[in-house]
């Protein structure tokens, strides 16, 4: 771990926390869906609750990290890696949003109402955001290890 | 090799006696991990950082960095 910079450790922690909390959120959403309680209010509560949980976990992680070693300012390599990863993450998010738009439009044309409810669309958009963030963080880690 | 750039940073640091990666990083204003990445050829630094390294070794930049064949 000593070979990793503060920013690389931060990226690892964020990726692991994000995936772990996404798994918990997905399991709970599936439970709610099976129980037939997939309403906008329920999903809103879950999204807010798990977002707060993610923020708390990340704050605690970064506090511990900052106590273990002095947080370093970003240098030019960190910024370059961030820009490249951010560009690709942005592309993934764009494709995801357009995918959801297509899903809504095509679903609307086909008249399938099950996946066109506000909670379903909100979860699809959240999935797009999750995938984009995971791709961005993974590309960061790739460049930290393999070079840029 | 990052962007076809070679460098002699590790060699010059060793020749400079006891200069550590951390000391060079602080002299240049980057992280130690960035110095490691430069030495391992995983990162081609900006002109500003290359000139900073040249100044730290008191050598012309072209003696430290070059184009790979």
pLDDT in the model for residue B17:
83
Of B30, B32, B42, the CB nearest to A147: B42
The residue-averaged pLDDT of B10-17 equals 90
Q: Choose between A53 and A111: higher pLDDT.
A: A53
Mean pLDDT of chain A: 93
Instruction: State how far residue A21 is from chain B, nearest Cα, in angstroms.
Output: 30
Q: How many other CB atoms sit within 10 Å of the CB of residue B51?
A: 16
The string of pLDDT tens digits covering residues A26-53 is 999 999 989 988 889 999 999 999 999 9
The secondary structure of A115-132 as a DSSP string is GGSHHHHHHHHHHHHHHH
Query: What pTM did the predictor assign?
Result: 0.89
A92 dihedral zone (left: phi>0; alpha: psi -120 to 50; beta): alpha
Percent of chain B exceeding pLDDT 90 equals 83
What ipTM score was computed for the predicted complex, to two decimals? 0.88
Q: How many other CB atoms sit within 10 Å of the CB of residue B61?
A: 16
pLDDT in the model for residue A4:
87
In chain B, the residue whose alpha carbon lies closest to the alpha carbon of A5 is B33
């Amino acid at each position: 771990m000593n070979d990793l910079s503060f920013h690389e450790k931060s990226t690892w922690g964020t990726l692991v926390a994000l995936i772990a909390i996404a798994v918990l959120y997905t399991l709970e959403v599936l439970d709610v869906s099976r129980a037939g309680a997939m309403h906008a209010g329920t999903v809103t509560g879950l999204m807010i609750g798990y977002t707060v949980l993610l923020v708390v976990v990340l704050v605690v992680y970064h506090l511990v990290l900052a106590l273990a070693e002095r947080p370093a300012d970003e240098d030019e390599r960190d910024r370059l890696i961030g820009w490249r990863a951010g560009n690709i993450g942005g592309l993934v998010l764009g494709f995801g949003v357009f995918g959801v738009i297509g899903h809504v439009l095509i679903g609307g044309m086909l008249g399938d109402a099950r996946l066109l409810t506000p909670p379903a669309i909100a979860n699809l958009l959240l999935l797009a955001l999750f995938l984009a963030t995971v791709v961005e963080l993974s590309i960061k880690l790739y460049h930290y290890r393999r070079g840029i | 090799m990052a962007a076809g750039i070679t460098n002699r940073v590790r060699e010059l640091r060793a020749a400079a006696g006891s200069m550590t990666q951390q000391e060079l990083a602080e002299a240049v204003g980057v992280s130690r991990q960035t110095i490691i990445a430069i030495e391992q050829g995983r990162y081609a630094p900006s002109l500003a950082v290359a000139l900073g390294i040249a100044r730290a070794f008191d050598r012309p930049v072209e003696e430290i960095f070059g184009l790979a064949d």
